[in-house]
Amino acid sequence: MSIQTPNTMHILFIADPLESFKIYKDSTFAMMRELQKRGHTLAVCGPEAISWQQGGVVCAAAVDIRLTGDPQRWFEVVTPSDHGKPVALRDYGAVLMRKDPPFDSEYFYATHLLEQAEREGARVFNKPRALRDHPEKLAIMEFPSLIGPTLVTRSAEEVRRFHAEHRDIILKPLDGMGGMGIFRVRDDGMNLGSIIETLNKSGAQSLMVQKFLPEIAQGDKRILIIGGKPVPYCLARIPQGGEVRGNLAAGGKGVAQALSIRDREIAESIGPVLFARGLLLVGLDVIGDKVTEINVTSPTCFQEIQQQTGYDVAAFFVDALENFSSVDM
């Protein structure tokens, strides 16, 4: 394990396999690059490498890496003298949970291991309990004045009543990501019954229904909040080719733009509340002036914003990480 000096930290990233990274747009890579630039050292592992045993502490069988600057072979493993030996999470300067959704049972178990590591002295971002307490679709319920008409239910009849009232609706699974499983049903109600059955598994699973917001044509805005403060630019993800989804993973076009006055008001209403609970990094999804999701597991769009505006989101993030890694939250 690398030795930390008073001014540098050894940072553990818990993430998806590095081989899957698309470094030209990956936000976790942008964090790593900025950390290494400042002299911090990097370690990585997946959630499967974390363990705990009675009488011991939470450890990770991680590897130290160094970024090479080569876009093809972009990292190399640095073999320390104790290579292969699990390291206590409390011995890292900070632990960044950057595993992509879905928030499945294994992700849930990982948050409990990370919370135990916190009790042992580890500094974990985002805070594990806060990750559990803020499911990305449902977290908006806490801020009803900032969202559009929304229903969460298992009941097909309630969905039909919601459609009868609003006529043009969006249906989506609560555990979806990247725009997967999202359906629009217009005034004619075509295929509504089939879509309900698909999403609620004949009443076995809850789903979310929202009034369709025509402002999606101007983009589904990703507003980043770091340390309780909004990044001054957002990424409007604009649906393409007749799609209703703006998600980049679903083919949306990302256009960076300055926050509007209303965007900033929304971010400043939500950001401090969530930061006080240990959410260092949050990504709001906003259509028009309505919040549709609150992303806390692995918010993205760092690089797209920097590439189009010059604003260094990763530097803003690392500033916050350096400031708060030594402060109780």
7 an active-site residue?
no
Catalytic residue among 99, 123, 137, 221: 137
Catalytic residue among 99, 245, 263, 304: 245
Q: Which of 94, 104, 98, 112 lies closest to 16 in space, CA to CA?
A: 98
154 an active-site residue?
no
82 an active-site residue?
no
CA distances from residue 321 to 7, 234, 246, 281 in whole angstroms, order as listed: 13, 20, 30, 10
Catalytic residue among 33, 123, 222, 290: 222
Tokens of 84: 């292969």
Distance CA 261, CA 180 (A): 31
Catalytic residue among 33, 123, 127, 172: 172
Distance CA 226, CA 62 (A): 26
290 an active-site residue?
no
Catalytic residue among 127, 285, 290, 304: 285
295 an active-site residue?
yes
CA distances from residue 160 to 170, 203, 207 in whole angstroms, order as listed: 12, 14, 13
222 an active-site residue?
yes
Distance CA 200, CA 160 (A): 13
Q: Which of 294, 297, 311 lies closest to 259 in space, CA to CA?
A: 311
Residues identified as active-site: 137, 172, 222, 237, 245, 285, 293, 295
